[in-house]
A and B are shown apart, each in its own frame.
Chain A
Amino acid sequence: MARYVVCKIEDFPASGRMLVEVNRRPVVIFRLGEEWFGLLNTCPHQGGSLFNGYQAGLAESDRPADYRYSRQGEIIRCPWHGWEFDIRTGRSRCRPDAVKVAQFALAVAGGKEIESLDDVKGVETFDVKPEGEYLLLSL
């Protein structure tokens, strides 16, 4: 397993999403509160860039005229055809078992911890400082 330092936590964009290329793969990283989720930035349908999608909530209903809306911001809709994917699982809303986006594990690690690991690479070149906190992506 290779691990990649994505960025300093404080540098993560305020928009709550970030596009990186890891080992030639485009990965979109979403921040939901203090949790981070990485998805392949290619919609399994026709290849739209999920990074450019709309972060919606989850609309559910048991009968017409009943709209339940929850999990605001946790569903990414592809900017092209509007397919919905659960940011937490990568599964599509319509066919969760058949259509999924590949996920990448993310973790927050301190600079000291990172210095002790031997398989860590940087997404870009930058210095890891012992006192900093960093986002670490596993591949």
Chain B
Amino acid sequence: MEKDIFSRLAPRWRTHIATVGMLARQGFTQEMQYPKGQPMAVRRDAFPPGGGMPGSDLDFMRAQHLDPNNVQFGVLIPLGAAQSLQNIDLSVALCTAINDWQVEEWTSREPRLRGSIVAAYQDPQAAVAEIHRLAGKRDFVQVSLLSRLPNPIGHRSFWPIYAAAAEVGLPIGVHAFGNGGWAITGGGWPSYYGEDMMSHAQTSQSALASLVLEGVFERFPTLRVALIEGGLGWLPSLRWRLDRIWERSRDELAHLPRPPSEYIRESVWLTSQPIEEPANRQHIAEVIDWIGWDRVLFASDYPHWDFDDPQRAMPLPLSRERRDRFFLKNALDLYGIPHG
């Protein structure tokens, strides 16, 4: 996959990667800050038989996931370091290469799949240009950002990106992870991968609080945001807490005329994976009652190791309407795919 993408770069950047690599606000050049629980954090059964990385072979993805799980609509989210690089020009170049690769290798070949525009948030002007370059194509259904940036995601430096997304009518997908350069907890760097994984729920909370409190939804009322891969159980508590703080902070938050829960209810969607697994599964249904069944989107996270199987992720008797919404219709609505 990296070869597919690097070959699209100018010689300067190929040399750069071959010599100094891709510095990404972390200490290792190869390994991640927290060595993963499984190689590259993928399902061990997701390596394509023909070689290459998991998630790099469309035919194998069809055979292993899209066909058996009857996936009718799938959103691609290319992770990798492109968006967290210290070298901004390289980041811009890589994002463009990844976006073109999504079209040529994936979305043009498989109508069920749509892509996410990755944009170099470090250079909002370049990010805006990339959004405008691609927004008209049917291949892309959202703009992709990460939860961990050098500044909280609601920070004004990112607003040109939100303005562009709102203008072209694409949602922002905020995927947990990324390297902002800060410790993942407010109390420093934890020891274990398990803590790193757990903390993505908290950085997703920080990201959402930031979007609301910094005034992004107030300023861009048509902007829609999907929070991805942070789970969903924490949302009601976050909403209740933010509302209470807002009531007590009207002077400081004079730029927010409405309570945080209203912005969230209108503008925010959540993907399910990795779905919380209470001993009494009915509890997760109650939590979604509080969130709203029209705001939750199924996500598998294929081919990652904490993949949620659509057959098992929601082991509850659901009404037909809720089932349809959770597994398909909410996503079609959010991403503007016509359906009957």
Contacts and interface: CB of A to CB of B under 8 A. Distances in A.
A81 B311 CA distance: 15
B323 interface: no
Interface string B278-309: 00000000000000000000000000011111
Interface in B293-336: 305-309, 311-313
Contacts of B21: none
Contact of A49 (B38, B45, B305): B45
Contacts of B45: 48-49, 52, 79-80
B305 A82 contact: yes
B43 interface: yes
B37 A82 contact: yes
A53 interface: yes
B44 interface: yes
B309 A46 contact: yes
Contact of B43 (A45, A47, A80): A80
Contacts of B44: 52-54, 79
* Contact-residue bracket for chain B: 10 to 19
Contacts of A52: 43-45
A49 B307 CA distance: 13
Contacts of A81: 305-307
B305 A47 contact: no
B305 A46 contact: no
Interface string A19-52: 0000000000000000000000000011111001
A45 B307 CA distance: 12
Contacts of A82: 37-38, 305
A46 B313 contact: yes
Contacts of A79: 38, 43-45, 305
Given A46-B308, A46-B313, 15 more contacts: A45-B312, A46-B307, A46-B312, A47-B311, A47-B312, A48-B43, A48-B309, A53-B44, A54-B44, A79-B305, A80-B307, A80-B309, A81-B305, A81-B307, A82-B305
Contacts of A45: 312
Interface in B32-81: 37-38, 43-45
A79 B307 CA distance: 10
A51 B140 CA distance: 37
Contacts of A49: 45
A80 B311 CA distance: 14
Nearest to B44: A79
Interface in B126-172: none
A13 B208 CA distance: 51
